[in-house]
Structure 1
Amino acid sequence: MSGAGDEEAFETKASPPAVAGPLRSQQGLNHRQAPARPAPGSPAESGAQDGLLLDLVTGTNSLLESLDLLAAATVRTVIQATGLRIECGVVVHQPKRNPTATGTSEDVARLLEWEQETKEGPLNEVLSGGHPVAVLQRNGDFRWPRYSTQLQLAGFGSAMGVRLRVGTDGAESAAADGAAFGETAAGLAFFAQDAKAFPLQVIAEARTFAGLAAKSLGMAISLHSARSMATDLRSALDSRTSINVACGVIMAQNRCSYHEAFSILAKASSHRNIKVRRVAEDILERLPEGPPRAHFGH
């Protein structure tokens, strides 16, 4: 079995790892032929990528919101291309952060949570660095018995995990905050009621979309990381400003050094079991003109 493009192994229940390139079967699901996809790097693909990127970042305030949009876009794309009715989930693992996950239904969200806790299932397989695509056809597949039971309870007969290669090509590597990626791992999870819902044509379509989605998701992660960093920095500057001004008030009142003033704040913080910043803010709120406001970025 062979395919065009970057051929990679995938895993199914009935065979050892085989090759799953972006194949196009002669007879798709329900005898529908998948529409032609734009060639990699072509203007059409670039337009699709730009459109998805805008969808993932426009009007979103968090990575979770972007993942919600990505899951919905995945469902629309696969249904349009194959006619297969599916549900979808997305999981992102970032260094030093809790995993971020979402799904197009509550059943999918519960399955993603269960899989992340037990480390068993097709999406966990691809996230842990196994095959880029892992397929579970529930009937007769004994690799993940506990997961198969959960899948059946959720009303699904098939599941598929597809790795999203985030931050591995030139576009992501050149990002200003490359640290946003690090050991980031991401994947798409597909669920269908049919016990044999993911033939090669569907796998190929999912992998083609995953390549596009990974680039857009990488940029979305970069944007949200930059926003988070800016928020943290502003909070740190606000905190430092409050502490410094409060120390100035203490220095004027007690004719002491900055070090002695900060020690007074720290002792009050320890005695009241609250943060130093909160102690400083309490002092500033009692000033005749109220607490001064920091004006960063002007």
Structure 2
Amino acid sequence: MPHPEPTGRERGAPRNPALVLDLVNGAQTLSESLDLLVAASAGHVAATAGIDVGCGLVLHQPKRTPAITGTTVEVERLLDWERDMAEGPVTDVMSGGHPVAVLQRNGDFRWQNYSAQLQLSGFGSALAVRLRLDTDLPADNQGNGSKEPGQTAAALAFFAHDSKAFPLQAIAEARTFAALATKSLQMAINLHAARSLATDLRSALDSRTSINVACGVIMAQNRCSYEEAFSILAKASSHRNIKVRKVAEELLDRLPEGAPRSHFGR
């Protein structure tokens, strides 16, 4: 069932607004950071609401396959099913229609296919909460809940065996924790993106250096221009169906002193 926007203390972030979860220390990839987040989320809601829950997270990023992770295999399978079928509480909150969606299996006739799948997975209740990331746009003015394409969006999902496991107190705890989770996830996304960009830049610089040095060798051997030297590399690349960088590196490896090595921030 959809719930209105919170007011008063429920609207706020956790008691310490500066607090963030450490989703980066020891996590080499964004996937590992997501695993840390779902574990922390499940632990928090279970401890504060007094119920045993499973937790999952769905993250949509532009030009990437949606990332799905969960505390159990059953949670991940259910989230995968919902992604494929586009029916259920996570789909509802990520469409921008409501910030929270709750399914109490007994007596709830929404998403009937999803309800059956929920039961097959061994759960009686589901709670989804949208994480409002910096690039997560609100619903459009037409009120149809659509989002502009290419935006990052995320949602946390909690699952319990009890068919009425998420009373208002549990929902409030999940929403309060979502503010902390959002801040922490945004920082993790930004940091991992920066790491990836740095790696790509370093690779591009290494590649450009190898090609430039190889062109210099060809220019010295053939008394030709840079353009002509690069054309020789490009023709060899096309003929052998390998990248220009690979051709350049093979040429440099054959030098008596060996291939020079670049050091960009290493």
Scaled by the length of structure 2, the TM-score of the pair is: 0.88
State the number of aligned residues.
Answer: 253
Residue identity (%): 68
**Structure 1 runs of 4+ with >4 Å offset:** 37-42
C-alpha separation in 1, matches of 2:158 and 2:194: 30
Query: CA–CA distance in 2 between the matches of 1:163 and 1:145?
Result: 22
* SS of equivalent to 2:128: strand
Number of the residue aligned with 2:109: 142
Q: What is aligned with 2:222?
A: 254
Q: What is the Cα deviation at residue 19 of structure 1?
A: 2.5
Secondary structure at 1:189's aligned position in 2? strand
- What SS does structure 1 have at the residue aligned with 2:16? helix
Contact 2:135 2:152 in 1 (8 A): no
Contact 1:78 1:84 in 2 (8 A): yes
Show the counterpart of 2:97.
Answer: 130
Number of the residue aligned with 1:21: 6
What is aligned with 2:70? 103
The residue identity in structure 2 corresponding to 1:45 is N
Alpha-carbon separation, structure 2, partners of 1:40 and 1:149: 35
| Letter of the structure 2 residue corresponding to residue 215 of structure 1 | K
Aligned-partner residue type, residue 236 of structure 1: A
Letter in 1 for 2:190: S
Q: Secondary structure of 1:190's partner?
A: strand
Which residue in the other structure is 2:16 paired with? 45
Match of 1:236 in 2: 204
Matches within 5 A, 1:1-298: 12=1, 17-19=2-4, 21=6, 40=12, 44-46=15-17, 49-50=19-20, 52=21, 55-167=22-134, 183-297=151-265
The Cα of 1:194 is off from its aligned counterpart by: 1.1
Q: C-alpha distance in 1, partners of 2:107/2:13?
A: 40
Q: Which has the bigger relative contact order, CA under 8 A and spacing at least 6?
A: 2
Cα separation, partners in 2 of 1:38 and 1:155, compared to 1, 3 Å: closer
Shift of 1:275: 1.3
What are the superposed Cα offsets for residues 206-233 of structure 1, whole Å, 9 maximum, x if unpaired? Answer: 0000011111111111111111111111
Deviation by residue 1:257-286 (Cα, 9 ceiling, x = unmatched) = 111111111121112111111111111111
Unaligned runs of 5+ in 1: 1-11, 24-36, 170-181
Deviations 1:118-164 (A, max 9, x none): 22211111112120101122234333232222212211111111000
Change (3 A) 1:268 1:149: farther
- 5+ residue gaps in structure 2? 137-149
